[in-house]
Amino acid sequence: MGSVRNSCWLIAPLLIGCTSFCLATPPVEPGRRAEWFQKAGWGVFMHYLAEKPEVPVEEWNRRINEFKVDDLARQLESAKARYFFITLGQNSGHYLAPNKTYDSLVGIRPSKCSTRDLVADLYAALEPRGIKLLVYLPAGAPDKDKTAMEKLQWKSGPYRLSEFQEKWEKVIGEWSERWGTKVVGWWFDGCYWPNAMYRHPTPPNFETFAAAARKGNPESLVAFNRGVVYPIHSEAEQEDYTAGEIDEPTKVSYGKFWVDGAQWHMLSYLGKSWSAPPPRFTDAEVVKITTRLVEAGGVVTWDVPPEADGLIPEPFLRQLRAIGEAVEAIRPR
């Protein structure tokens, strides 16, 4: 694993039973790109993925075509969510938007990139409601798709992988240019070997990685996730916010909400695991976890599982609405 960027932390456990929440110093004003993110305070994350590489292309396109973007947007609006993350794809090699660069590199026919641009359609439904759209993408090739791994020259481990990274940045760059300002942020998963792959003075590196994501929108937020690490930290100078993957949000430690130039942000899940029902907290518990962090200047994102048509199951929607009401009371739009 790579080394964590240096941070000066004022460590204090966040426990559900706490009766006070304070910082030694007020939160530092966030940088220009992250200003809206801190003001937003909280949002929602959804993994919408094909289970395995063998899912037929026709089936994947059917699912994407039946994703109810308008109904999901209404749900998020009812919860007063400020932003929404959607996964572009993951290990199976199926993606929910077209990408000609990816298709030309991997040579898979018919393409496992959907014919519908679900990201563009989500933007069209969310933007009128004032909900910003961000996307998730692994930092590596889909590791259950042998053809894609071979063509993209990917292998898992602490390797330089310059050839892979150059190809992957072209894939990212096409999506970024396709969506332009419709997408306002990226969350890159699986940056497990940052020293081996990205901490270099010559390209490809963190700088070119971030530049690919900002190719279509220079204002896009970028975060690189190395996995669950306590305390939440910033991984690279090019980050605008911390990836902040946390599996036990009641045990998170906090310090300054401005970490090495990045806005402090926590991402965790409301279910028993990522994208897995049932809810593991009571409504009151998730409200307390969220409001304590938001009130002090942090940003909190909650993962929820999707129904087959992209909608949020009612028990999770109820919790999101409780969070939204509570955040609205302490941080009005």
User: What is the per-residue pLDDT across 141-160, written as a single tens digit (0 to 9) for each?
Assistant: 999 999 999 999 999 999 99
Contact 166, 117 (CB under 8 A): no
Mean pLDDT of the chain: 91
Indicate whether 7 pLDDT > 60.
Answer: no
Alpha helices in 272-313 (DSSP H): 283-295
Per-residue pLDDT, averaged over 44-61, amounts to: 97
- CA distance linking residue 193 with residue 235, whole number of Å: 11
HEC sequence for 202-250:
CCCCHHHHHHHHCCCCCCCEEEECCCCCCCCCCCCCCCCECCCECCCHH
Q: Residues 35-330: name the CATH superfamily.
A: Glycosidases (3.20.20.80)
Burial class (CB in 10 A: 0-12, 13-18, 19+), 308: exposed
pLDDT in tens, 203-253: 999 999 999 999 999 999 999 999 999 999 999 999 999 999 999 999 887
**Residue spans of beta strands (DSSP E) within the chain:** 42-46, 83-87, 132-138, 185-189, 221-224, 258-259, 262-263, 265-269, 271-273, 276-279, 299-304
pLDDT at res. 253:
74
Name the nearest CA neighbour of 300 among 271, 323, 278, 316.
323
Per-residue pLDDT, averaged over 83-100, amounts to: 98
Question: Where are the chain's structural domains?
Answer: 35-330
Name the nearest CA neighbour of 106 among 119, 126, 92.
92
pLDDT in tens, 161-190: 999 999 999 999 999 999 999 999 999 999
Name the nearest CA neighbour of 9 among 171, 204, 181, 252.
252
pLDDT in tens, 100-123: 999 999 999 999 999 999 999 999
**Beta-sheet strand order (sheet of 132-138):** 221-224, 185-189, 132-138, 83-87, 42-46, 299-304, 265-269
Burial class (CB in 10 A: 0-12, 13-18, 19+), 26: exposed
pLDDT in tens, 254-292: 777 888 889 999 999 999 999 999 999 999 999 999 999
Please, which pLDDT band fits residue 24 given cuts at 50, 70 and 90? very low
Please, which pLDDT band fits residue 31 given cuts at 50, 70 and 90? low
Per-residue pLDDT, averaged over 304-313, amounts to: 98
- CA distance linking residue 173 with residue 156, whole number of Å: 22
- CA distance linking residue 47 with residue 45, whole number of Å: 7
Phi then psi dihedrals of residue 189, to 5 deg: -90, 155
